[in-house]
Structure 1
């Protein structure tokens, strides 16, 4: 087979294009059609059912509707920052998938610091939120941007500390190494082996990470940066047409990136019986997506002061306690 830097670059480009296309297709189905259907099921409604079989053609209708709308640029915006912000937010989430193992050998890269890389590129979205908020020349947008920064700071630290407890168990930051560390059997019940997924090994850390992830992706009760009943639409108030599509797209890509991280570090990644690994990975990622939509429909929004207090006084303390306890347990057992 051909070898060399040029071939590796071409292979990486093709692989990244395929993964990006698959993700965008998944986001289109889940964000436009699935979100409506899931919310309708929770609120005893029917949702879309007129456009094609099961209403699936609403995806095409909405895409044409949004992309054909006029792009309205308000007076006084900081145009370069206002233009770049949606691209920064969507791009940061797509970059995170570069090191996620989606199947046996199915990942673009597998660096030693894979988990640190994912958190680093995902946090770039906070910069995009700030850019969108201050550049829009709108007080509601500015408030949404400031709320987003305050929320991300309050919950990203507990998120990383909780992930660090998984690193202590696995002994590596490499994403494939974390998956391999969960490949053994934890214990058996009636002849059925329970895998040593870190969701079973350390369920407290799993719950903490799931809660912090809700805050990072802006789902109830932590959708404060957008809060339509208080600040219209927050940081994205002044965006329309293709820019609004990018903002909406970035929101759902980040939800799936959060699901991909949870599937990888707590649910064994692509591991599973009978079905191919990539199918199990999508199922696990989809389960996290369903949880976020359940939270959106069932959990009431908290106030901004309550949100910050939960993050700094609750989640941070619990994540530090979990990290210390994990270190003690691993130190005693090794």
Structure 2
């Protein structure tokens, strides 16, 4: 397999197609905006298909139902129907809300996940930017969503929303630390925070069985870290058994209770883009990123990312919700201890191998 670290990122490809000099400042700005728009369009389209239509179909398959089948072929017209329905509804602003924070919260929730995709390598040369601190950047911008959730809960002037916001912060604090520590264990193996380098390191052959080369994906090298990251990611994206911040049977809809119309769409959009971002991170640091046989790298990347999405939907349908006290105990007394143990063990192994 060829290494995936690229000297010609996505904006340069666009500049070459347009016959422009990438060294010109205005060309860099324009091509970066165009590349970002392409990536955002793909993600928004995925959210429309998998969030509106796919979620219903997948959940129905897990629970032995049919789901939408009356709106066009296979129910696909439910996508524009839901879009028109939600966006045409009145935006109801409850009395007593803290208006600036209430207005900003949905934008923060949606935009924080989109920012994370700026450094994700989708395939050969399909990367908006490739900074040396790529993995740290992804974790940093994704965690901004916690601020949006707290703002939504506090500003809504609703006790159920406020409880949901507090639960979201408590949950994210409890599980972001294990998530980051597990990611650091990957950095120890790769020797870099640059995502393209992490992908390149996984192209080496781990073992060859019967002429079939098994790549050194970190999911194979350290399956314990992979399992920890998958579980922590479920908590980060609010999927069962960790959907405590919304908990419809307990606190109505948590932090999003008072939102309607376009603001609800933004929160719903942010939720699914965060799920896709979690899948993109897992695909990049544990599953070899865009690497794979026969098919183009970008196809393999989306297969891996959507596979993680399907796992979260399975968890949503099959795993019962835990109580808030159980969630905190699992995070601080279980995941944190295990992630530290994994980090120490990884450091010892890397130290012995490199000695």
TM-score band w.r.t. shorter chain: over 0.9
Secondary structure at 1:215's aligned position in 2?
A: helix
Q: Deviations over 1:96-153 (max 9, x none)?
A: 0000000001111000000000000000000000100000000000000000000000
1:28 to 22, 26, 48: 48
Structure 2: give runs of 5+ residues left out of the alignment.
Answer: 1-19
* 1:216 aligned partner: 236
Secondary structure at 1:123's aligned position in 2?
A: helix
**Aligned 1:62-211 pairs, distance under 5 A:** 62-211=82-231
* 2:70 aligned partner: 50
Q: Distance in 2 between matches of 1:173 and 1:259?
A: 18
2:249 to 202, 210, 229: 229
Structure 1 runs of 4+ aligned residues shifted over 6 Å read: none
Structure 1: give runs of 5+ residues left out of the alignment.
Answer: none
Alpha-carbon shift at residue 188 of structure 1 (Å)? 1.0
* 1:16 aligned partner: 36
Q: Distance in 2 between matches of 1:122 and 1:23?
A: 16
Alpha-carbon shift at residue 323 of structure 1 (Å)? 0.2
Q: Distance in 2 between matches of 1:166 and 1:105?
A: 23
1:301 to 297, 321, 324: 321
Alpha-carbon shift at residue 26 of structure 1 (Å)? 0.3
Q: Deviations over 1:15-42 (max 9, x none)?
A: 0000000000001000000000000001
Alpha-carbon shift at residue 52 of structure 1 (Å)? 1.1
1:240 and 2:234 are equivalent in the alignment = no
Task: Please give the TM-score of this superposition, normalised by the length of structure 2.
Answer: 0.94
Q: Distance in 1 between matches of 2:73 and 2:218?
A: 40
* 2:61 aligned partner: 41
Q: Distance in 2 between matches of 1:157 and 1:4?
A: 41
Q: Deviations over 1:67-93 (max 9, x none)?
A: 000100000000000000000000000
Task: Please give the TM-score of this superposition, normalised by the length of structure 1.
Answer: 1.00
1:257 and 2:310 are equivalent in the alignment = no
Alpha-carbon shift at residue 189 of structure 1 (Å)? 1.2
Q: Distance in 1 between matches of 2:323 and 2:244?
A: 8
Q: Distance in 1 between matches of 2:69 and 2:196?
A: 41
Alpha-carbon shift at residue 51 of structure 1 (Å)? 0.8
Q: Give me the CA root mean square deviation.
A: 0.5
Q: Distance in 2 between matches of 1:183 and 1:12?
A: 28
Q: Deviations over 1:250-278 (max 9, x none)?
A: 00000000000000000000000111110
Secondary structure at 2:258's aligned position in 1?
A: coil
Q: Distance in 2 between matches of 1:35 and 1:188?
A: 38
Secondary structure at 2:206's aligned position in 1?
A: strand
Q: How many residues align?
A: 334
Secondary structure at 2:289's aligned position in 1?
A: coil
Q: Distance in 1 between matches of 2:234 and 2:224?
A: 16
Q: Distance in 1 between matches of 2:247 and 2:227?
A: 25
Secondary structure at 1:109's aligned position in 2?
A: coil
Q: Distance in 1 between matches of 2:208 and 2:307?
A: 24
1:269 to 266, 269, 289: 289
